[in-house]
Amino acid sequence: MKSVVIERPEVLRVQERERPQPTAGQVRVKVRYASICGSDVHIWHGHNPFARYPRVIGHEFFGVIDAVGEGVDAARLGERVAVDPVVSCGHCYPCSVGRPNVCSALQVIGVHLDGGFSEYALAPSGNAYKLPESIPDRLASLIEPFTIAANITAFLNPTGQDIALVYGAGPMGLTAVQVLKGVYGVKQVIVTDRLPERLAMAQDNGADRVINNSEISLAEQLAGIQPTLIIDAACHPSILPEAIALASPAARIGLLGFSGDTCAITQQSLTSKELSLFTSRLNSRRFPQVIEWINQGHIQPAKLVTHTLPLSQIEQAMTLFEKQPRTCCKVIIEMD
Ligand code: NAI
Ligand code: MN
Ligand code: ZN
């Protein structure tokens, strides 16, 4: 089979590899479509602290179960599935409280384990979610990025009366916008970014107002509007202090970033407004919820897709994704 392997940082190859055999409890998926995420690019360039090399990348993928390991019902052969990349132990403290996404022994498919930019991929059978016919093959890999938005919004508990502010109109910000509007019916969703093209995508994804903060500060343009719910999907360390200053009393702030740089905040800035600060990593079993949202028409994954390329052009696809944020959002990889 053909697989996209990062042999070591900066060395990407499409390699011929032996088709893996599912072990007990696993399924093998014949991958049909996958999508590129920022973390794939980070593993390629050696900027993902969790990655181990060599690695078959790709954690957003869809396919059909074509082999099952011992203990897995053979009736699953032929099932159309989206794969949750979060592999957890099931018995540590976080797992026992429903937070397998921060399992003490967390393994992420495409990061710690070989992933889905490959003609075949393995996953625990419980991670392979059967899809309804209403979700087309070519959009099914986008369930995973929406689970990130599902996870953070579950903490933030959005309501109709919120005024939400989303930093960043990349894939993460845009999925958050769709979920805030389409699932939770948030009254006003404001999105800020530095790129006008990205802000246009935010409008297309349901934002009520967009603000370009590249020249005039966000504070000035908000002119006293105090967001009651803020999601940082741009993730520069300078954003949290600004978000805290702009937030309404009793607001909730959600963080998605992994920067190792410090940022300066005071206890007073948080406590005086009794702000709640939530962080969110990957997803805790939110595939069924997102599948249902798509099925019900609450969210539209198609709005994120700007390009589709074959597996053989993976390097061009990843370069496009990385270097052309004005024209490129989600890139779908089609197996040759
Ligand atoms: P992206 O790079 O495509 O989008 C970020 C957007 O933020 C860009 O459009 C950029 O122009 C904008 N931006 C940058 N600085 C800004 C600022 N100061 N103010 C306003 N806008 C600004 O990235 P993507 O894929 O949307 O991911 C966003 C972040 O989410 C990344 O840092 C990534 O590491 C993180 N992430 C976290 C996950 C989690 O589970 N916690 C999962 C996936 C991504
Ligand atoms: Mn992703
Ligand atoms: Zn665990």
Q: In what order do the strands lie in the sheet with 188-193?
A: 209-212, 188-193, 163-167, 229-232, 252-255, 276-279
Q: What is the pLDDT of residue 230?
A: 99
Q: Is 295 part of any domain?
A: no
d(CA 67, CA 75): 10
Q: Is 287 part of any domain?
A: no
In sign, the C-alpha dihedral spanning 36, 37, 43, 45 is positive
> Chain-centre distance of CA 58, in angstroms?
12
ipTM above 0.95, yes or no: yes
Residues 271 and 155 reside in one and the same domain:
yes
Our CA angle for 311, 140, 292, nearest 5°, is 170
Residues 276 and 154 reside in one and the same domain:
yes
How far apart, in Å, do the first and last CA atoms of the chain sit? Answer: 11
Kindly report the protein residue whose alpha carbon is nearest to atom 20 of ligand 1: 193
Q: Is 268 part of any domain?
A: yes
Segments forming the whole domain that contains residue 218: 149-280
Position in ligand 1 atom list of the atom nearest CA 101: 40
Which whole-number Å values give the CA distances from 91 to 94, 97, 100, 151, in the listed order? 8, 9, 9, 21
Expressed in angstroms and rounded, the spacing between residue 28 Cα and the centre of ligand 3 is 23
Expressed in angstroms and rounded, the spacing between residue 175 Cα and the centre of ligand 1 is 11
Residues 8 and 59 reside in one and the same domain:
yes
- Phi then psi for residue 173, to 5 deg, are -65, -40
Kindly report the protein residue whose alpha carbon is nearest to atom 42 of ligand 1: 282
Sequence letter at residue 165: L
CB 198 within 8 A of CB 325: yes
Ligand 1, CB within 6 Å, residue ranges: 38, 148, 167-173, 192-195, 198, 213, 233-236, 239, 256-258, 280-282, 325
- HSE on the CB side for 285, CA within 13 Å? 10
Residues 163 and 257 reside in one and the same domain:
yes
CB 129 within 8 A of CB 82: yes
Position in ligand 1 atom list of the atom nearest CA 171: 26
d(CA 87, CA 106): 6
Residues 276 and 310 reside in one and the same domain:
no
Residues 7 and 125 reside in one and the same domain:
yes
Q: Is 294 part of any domain?
A: no
Residues 96 and 216 reside in one and the same domain:
no
Q: Which residues contact 14 (CB under 8 A, 6 or more apart)?
A: 2, 3, 4, 5, 311, 312, 314
The rounded radius of gyration (Å) of the Cα atoms in the chain is 20
Expressed in angstroms and rounded, the spacing between residue 276 Cα and the centre of ligand 1 is 21
Q: Is 144 part of any domain?
A: no
Q: What is the pLDDT of residue 89?
A: 97
We report the CATH number of the domain holding residue 176 as: 3.40.50.720
How many domains, the chain?
A: 2
Q: Is 320 part of any domain?
A: yes
Residues 82 and 24 reside in one and the same domain:
yes
Six-digit token pair at 277? 């600060």
d(CA 300, CA 175): 9
We report the CATH number of the domain holding residue 325 as: 3.90.180.10
Per-residue pLDDT of the chain (336 residues; tens, 9 = 90+): 999 999 999 999 999 999 999 999 999 999 999 999 999 999 999 999 889 999 999 999 999 999 999 999 999 999 999 999 999 999 999 999 999 999 999 999 999 999 999 999 999 999 999 999 999 999 999 999 999 999 999 999 999 999 999 999 999 999 999 999 999 999 999 999 999 999 999 999 999 999 999 999 999 999 999 999 999 999 999 999 999 999 999 999 999 999 999 999 999 999 999 999 999 999 999 999 999 999 999 999 999 999 999 999 999 999 999 999 999 999 999 997
Residues 95 and 175 reside in one and the same domain:
no
Ligand that lies nearest to the alpha carbon of residue 40, given by its number in the listed order? 2
Candidate of 59, 148, 235, 331 to mutate for ligand 1, largest count of ligand atoms within 8 Å of Cβ: 235
* DSSP per-residue letters across 241-302: HHHHHHSPTT-EEEE-----S-----HHHHHTTT-EEEE--S-SS-HHHHHHHHHTTS--GG
Q: Is 8 part of any domain?
A: yes
Residues 156 and 211 reside in one and the same domain:
yes
Residues 121 and 183 reside in one and the same domain:
no
* DSSP per-residue letters across 183-195: TT--SEEEEEES-
Residues 61 and 181 reside in one and the same domain:
no
Q: Is 209 part of any domain?
A: yes
